[in-house]
Amino acid sequence: MAQGVLVITEQIEGAFRKVTYEALSEGKQTAAALKCGTAAVVLGHGITDIAEQLGTYGPDTVWVADDPALKEYTVDAYANVVSDLVRREDPAVILIGATTQGRELAARLSARLEAPLAMDCVALRVDEGNVTATRPMYGGKVLADLALKGNPCIIAVRPNAMAIRKSEGAGTVEKIDVNVGDAAIRFVEKQLEAEKTDLTEADIIVSGGRGMGGSDFSILEALAEVLGAAVGASRSAVDEGWRPHSDQVGQTGKVVSPNLYIACGISGAIQHLAGMSSSKVIVAINKDEDAPIFAKADYGIVGDLFEVVPAITEAVKKLKAQI
C-alpha cells in the first residue's frame, strides 16, 4: 500500500470502538481523493476473527497483529509494532481515533517516525493532493485548517465528529509478524467501569453542574435513561466529589461531540465550553437568564432544573409511549 492511507483501529475486549469506523470511513474517502488504497491495522490477542468486521467499511487490506504481548495496550509495544508496519508499508496518511489511547500512541508514533501530527481533528479534505485537517483551537473558539507536510502525516480524529459510511470491497485479512521489541512499560492491572457508555462516544449527553446542589444526580440519570444518554458533569460537580473525574467534560476532562448535549445548572465557563462546543445541538437549562451557556446553546430554558428536567423526562416518556 505504498503511499496509501493506514487506519490504526482500537478495540476493547474484542469490540471495535465507534471512532474506528469513523476513522476508517474518513480514511476511505481520503484515499479516494488521493487515488490510493486504504489499509487498517488491528492489534491485540485473539482478535483475528474480529478483523473481518472491518470489511464493510472498505479497507483493501486489514493487517492483524495478534500476539499475547499485545493483549493489553501499552504504548511501547503498540508503537513498536505499528512503526515496523509503517516503515514496511510506507503509508502517506495515518488516521487514528483521538481517544486516550489513540492520543498517546499518535504522539509516540509522531516522535518515532518524525511525522507531523494533527490532534483532535473534526474534518479532513484533500487539496491538490495534500491533506488538510481541521481542528478546533483556543477552547473551540476557532477552527484551524492545518496543512500537513511530511510523509507519513498522522491525523487523530475526534470521536463522534465524522460520519460512518459503509463501503464496497471486502479487503484481505493478513497476519503480520509481531516483534514488540523492548518495552519499558509493563501492564499491571485494568479496571473497567462496567456498563458505562464512554462519554466521547455517546450520542446524547445530559450533564450537571454546580446547580445540581449535591451528589444526587437521579433526575439527570432518569432523563438520560429515557433518552439513551450518558451522564456528564462540569468540573465544579467533579471537584465537589459529586461525580467521578471520568464524567468531567471540558478542558481538563473529556472533549465530546454528541448529537445532543443538555447542560443542566452549568454556567458555561470557557473551560467547560472547550469540551462540548462541537456538540451538534446544545440545550441549556439554567435559572440565570444571563448565564454564558445561553450564548452557545441552540435552545435555552430559563428555569429551575429541578422542575424542568423531570418535566422533560415525563414528556419524552409520553412521546415514546405513542410510538
Ligand X SMILES: Cc1cc2nc3c(=O)[nH]c(=O)nc-3n(C[C@H](O)[C@H](O)[C@H](O)COP(=O)(O)OP(=O)(O)OC[C@H]3O[C@@H](n4cnc5c(N)ncnc54)[C@H](O)[C@@H]3O)c2cc1C
Give the residue numbers of the binding site. 210, 234-235, 248-252, 265-272, 286
Q: How far is CA 116 from CA 124, 154, 312, in A?
A: 15, 6, 46
For residues 274 and 261, give the distance between their C-alpha atoms in angstroms, rounded to a whole number. Answer: 13
Which set of grid coordinates corresponds to residue 257? Answer: 461531540
211 binds ligand X (CB under 6 A): yes
The window from 19-27, 123-131, 156-164, 284-292 that contacts ligand X (CB under 6 A) reads 284-292
Q: How far is CA 23 from CA 95, 127, 152, 202, in A?
A: 6, 19, 16, 16
Q: What's the distance, CA 291 to chain centroid?
A: 28
For residues 305 and 313, give the distance between their C-alpha atoms in angstroms, rounded to a whole number. Answer: 12
269 binds ligand X (CB under 6 A): yes
Determine the 3-state secondary structure of 3 from DSSP: coil
Measured in Å, how far apart are the chain's first and last C-alpha atoms?
49
97 binds ligand X (CB under 6 A): no
Burial 65-97 (b: 16+ CB within 10 A, else e): bbbebbeebbbebbbbbbbbbbeebebbbbbbb
Residues 233-252 that bind ligand X (CB under 6 A): 234-237, 248-252
Given the DSSP bridges, would you call strands 93-97 and 204-208 parallel, antiparallel or unpaired? unpaired
265 binds ligand X (CB under 6 A): yes
Among 209, 232, 258, 300, binds ligand X (CB under 6 A): 209
271 binds ligand X (CB under 6 A): yes
**242 contact partners, CB below 8 Å, separation of at least 6:** 208, 212, 214, 215, 217, 233
- The 100-129 site mask, x for binding ligand X (CB under 6 A), equals ------------------------------
304 binds ligand X (CB under 6 A): yes
Q: Least distance from C-beta 307 to ligand X, angstroms?
A: 8
Q: Least distance from C-beta 53 to ligand X, angstroms?
A: 34
Among 170, 306, 310, 316, binds ligand X (CB under 6 A): 306
291 binds ligand X (CB under 6 A): yes
Tell me which residue has cell 441552540: 298
64 or 249, CB closer to ligand X? 249
Specify binding-site residues for FAD. 210, 234-235, 248-252, 265-272, 286
286 binds ligand X (CB under 6 A): yes
110 or 236, CB closer to ligand X? 236
300 binds ligand X (CB under 6 A): no
- Residues in contact with ligand X by CB under 6 A are 209-211, 234-237, 248-253, 265-267, 269, 271-272, 275, 285-288, 291, 304-306
